[in-house]
Amino acid sequence: MPKDVRHNKTKAQGLYDRIADVHNLAMKLNGYSASVAKYLRSLDLSLSQDSLVLDAGSGTGIVTEAFHNAGLPSRRVISLDLSIKSLEVGRESLERWPAKSAKNDFVQANVLALPFADDTFDLLLMCGVLEYTPLDDGLREAARILKPGAPLVFLPVKPSIVGSMLELLYNFKIHPLDKVREAATRYFNIVGNHKFPITEPIAWSKTIFLLEKK
């Protein structure tokens, strides 16, 4: 791994270890989870009770909770993040719903070196994590662990006034959306690009690409 990537990894891990509780509260108050759950329910993801789902760069589990709240079937859901504190907060939040918690695992790892075999997962969720990595490297690793034809629900931070504020606050770099599309097509078919309604706070900073592994 290049030296600058290792350095950014350490900085990001330390930041989220420090702010996990506050970050989790802010994300819950602004309704991100409800917006993502609504979007997931609108999709025909062809999941079953045997499906394996990965939330890579899960943070405190906002998108993990969105998946569970969408009522979609799965065998296991794995929440993966570099920040131990964020994973602890996510686990504690999910323990309020024992049925959901019982089928959810929490793993500390780097999204650029996912500790899973090729072609493992039926669905991958990634929200606001590849801003900390080289885009191509992150998408290539995402494609590696997905089964052929499986979807990636990818929520990058979009260029905007709010996005620029988040860049400063969280010390990451937004990838221009044309670069996201260009990098994605190397490994995925772009099935859709969803724009959240402006009435939902998530619309101020995020967009969604629905990708399908080639």
What is the domain partition of the chain in residue ranges? 3-39+47-213
- Residues 108 and 37: their CA atoms lie apart, in Å, by 24
Lowest mean pLDDT among 31-35, 121-125, 151-155: 31-35
CATH number for the domain whose boundaries are 3-39+47-213: 3.40.50.150
Residue bearing the bigger pLDDT, 209 or 86? 209
Give every CB contact of residue 200 below 8 A, 6+ residues apart in sequence: 31, 35
pLDDT digits (tens, 9 = 90+) for 2-13: 333 333 445 555
**Within 13 Å, how many C-alpha atoms sit on residue 40's CB side?**
28
Torsion, CA 98, CA 104, CA 110, CA 114, rounded to 10: 180
- Res. 127: pLDDT tops 70: yes
Q: What is the pLDDT of residue 15?
A: 53
- Res. 200: pLDDT tops 60: yes
Lowest mean pLDDT among 14-28, 62-76, 114-128: 14-28
3-state SS, the chain, equals CCHHHHHHHHHHHHHHHHHHHHHHHHHHHCCHHHHHHHHHHCCCCCCCCCCEEEEECCCCCHHHHHHHHCCCCCCEEEEEECCHHHHHHHHHHHCCCHHHHCCEEEEECCCCCCCCCCCCECEEEEECCHHHCCHHHHHHHHHHHECCCCEEEEECECCCHHHHHHHHHHCCCCCCHHHHHHHHCCCEEEEEEECCCCCCHHHHCECEEEEEEC
For residue 151 the two structure tokens come to 């979807």
pTM for the whole thing?
A: 0.88
Residue bearing the bigger pLDDT, 174 or 1? 174
Residue bearing the bigger pLDDT, 49 or 169? 49
Lowest mean pLDDT among 71-75, 151-155, 199-203: 199-203
Mean pLDDT within 84-112: 93
Mean pLDDT within 150-167: 93
